[in-house]
Structure 1
Amino acid sequence: MEETKDFPANPPEKQGYRLEFYDEFNDTVLNTHKWLPSYLPQWSSREQSAPRYSLTGQSLRLHIEADQPAWCRDYDGEVRVSSLQTGCFSGPKGSKIGQHKFNPKLVVAEAQPTARLYTPKYGYFETRLKAVPIPGYMVALWMIGFEEQPEDSAVIDICEIFGQDITAESSQNGYGVKQFNDPSISDESYRDELAIDASKYHIYAAEWTPTYIDFYVDNVKTRRVEQSPNYPMQFMLGIYELPDRLEKNLSASAWPKTCEVDYFRGYQPVNDYR
């Protein structure tokens, strides 16, 4: 059988579009003008939700490490996360105001300064990454509403790849839109089996327009969703350890568990969306 290979990187230039945000991860320190190193910190804290990561000078590596704590034990159990995000909004400590309120009992544990590092409304976005082929681990690039208003809260999943769904011959990719608390959006999520090994580099992308969202893998459109949130959204890029999906002998296996990201890019059409 022919060895599965990485899908090649796209050039930064994209015909008909202008590049407005990018990180090629070519440094050895994280650019905190582009990424916040925490995961929904208002529901936990910046320290508790801090990611484990490293930069090679050519890529970003997001890790789950053996001694890493759960990011929000009171409301998300033993789930461990290493994630970056491009924005943050919350109310004061003790309030119920904050992005992606995944549990109705949540209150702000640590107030966060408002940050809009990259919160576009519409555009074409892509990443090139390697997922983790181990059950219990999930890698995702997704978008959430900036949520200055509670209803501005829909989710766009660009890629959601579970380790148990990866083989050398095929892998499943989850994508679509979720309502969350936005009454104008209906849940519409898909999971496609693709003839790729997602533990190798592949490109996952979405074009979000005022009327629809197109999803792509390796430059091939997989589906159009005829819905569109109409407010600014931010990006979430991370690896998750999901305890209910872990194999029993995992503790004896090698640490860390690592996903690798070659780049992330955001584009706008030269002539805007008309």
Structure 2
Amino acid sequence: MLGPLPAAPATPPDMQDRFSNGPDPDLWVDGYLPQWTTPDRAQARYGRHSDGLLLRIDEDQPDWRPADAPLRVSNLQTGSFSGPLGSTRGTHRHRPDGLRVETEVPLRLLWAPAAGRVDIEVSASRDLDCMLAAWLVGTEHRSARDCGEVCIFEIDARAAGETWTARTGVKAHHDDRLTTRMIETALPFDAGSPHVWTAIWGDGETIIGCDGEIVQRLPQAPDYPLFLMIDLFEIGPPRGTYPKTAMVHSVRGWGRSARVSRG
């Protein structure tokens, strides 16, 4: 760890959810990048719990896209955007071989700051082949170039007694103003229990931390609107016991517009 995180803003968060009644529909789209697939394949599976929201992968859950199989996802994201049916316009064009809009979705900017801070309390999955992740991704509704990503964490499931690790950093994707910089950090705790992950970004810097300590500091940051995504993936063919789960306990965020526009 690289020292203590900056304190959270003294002002109340402009986005907050403890999931006591499930995902707030004024804040979340409960599907994974729905423009690139069909509604039944994008739809998240989840259940309410006294400690938060239990993201699930169920035994009968379809693959996100047949072309990506085997891959199943339950995801929440703070907005949506796509171009017209059949186009290549849409949020998070993460595949190098291209994606085309299969389901046209409206522009919904439910929480899409260009700079700010977000704190996410989660318990990662302990289930076979699963990964819990949280990303801030460029909405791309103003420009396809606005597609960079702040990877707050990607945590692969671990069996009892194994060391947990997290991947964090910035991914440029198709944004030539950014440089992909990812690291993998050994975690000195059991990530299957509750921990608070933080991203602070803006003014040319990104800070990623956990439980009040800095994990990574980068001298770059996207400066355009970003959606928050929280995802539970099952990567590989179905096996083991179901449902496979991870817990999202709470999310709170403070957003602002970017101060500097880069060319």
Q: Which amino acid aligns with 1:191?
A: E
Distance change in 2, residues 1:197/1:45 (3 Å) = same
Q: Distance in 2 between matches of 1:201 and 1:111?
A: 36
State the partner residue of 2:229. Answer: 236
Q: 1:214 to 1:105 in 2, by over 3 A?
A: closer
CA displacement 1:239-272 (0-9 Å, x = unmatched): 00010xx7xxx73x32100000110110258xx9
Higher alpha-carbon deviation: 138-147 or 48-57:
48-57
Moved more, 188-197 or 101-110: 101-110
TM-score norm. by structure 1 comes to: 0.86
Return the offset for 1:231: 0.3
| 1:262 correspondence with 2:259 | no
Q: Is 1:23 aligned with 2:21?
A: no
**Structure 1 residue ranges (4+ consecutive) displaced by more than 6 angstroms after TM superposition:** none
How big is each residue's C-alpha offset from its partner over 1:89-135, in whole Å with a ceiling of 9 and x where there is no partner?
11110111111112333211111111111001111111111111234
Alignment-derived partner of residue 83 in structure 1: 75
Deviations 1:33-68 (A, max 9, x none): 110011111110222210110112441000001110
Is structure 2 residue 121 aligned with structure 1 residue 134?
A: no
Q: What are structure 2's unaligned runs of at least 5 residues?
A: 1-6
CA contact (8 A) 2:168 2:216 kept: no
Alpha-carbon distance in 1 for matches of 2:26, 2:40? 18
Q: How many residues get paired?
A: 251
Partner of 2:42: helix, strand, or coil?
A: coil
63, 86, 96: which one aligns with 1:94:
86
- Structure 1: which amino acid aligns with 2:148? A
> Quick one: distance in 1 between partners of 2:84 and 2:259?
37
Paired amino acid for 1:160 = E
2:154 to 157, 160, 165: 160
TM-score by length of 2: 0.89
Instruction: State, as a whole percentage, how many aligned pairs show the same letter.
Output: 29
For 1:190-209, list aligned pairs within 5 A.
190-209=183-202
In angstroms, what is the RMSD of aligned CA positions? 2.0
How far has the Cα of 1:167 moved from its partner? 4.8
SS in 2 for 1:265: strand
Pairing partner for 2:31 from 33, 38, 61: 38
Tell me how far apart the structure 1 counterparts of residues 185 and 160 of structure 2 sit (CA, whole Å): 14
How far, CA to CA, are the matches of 2:128 and 2:120 in structure 1?
22
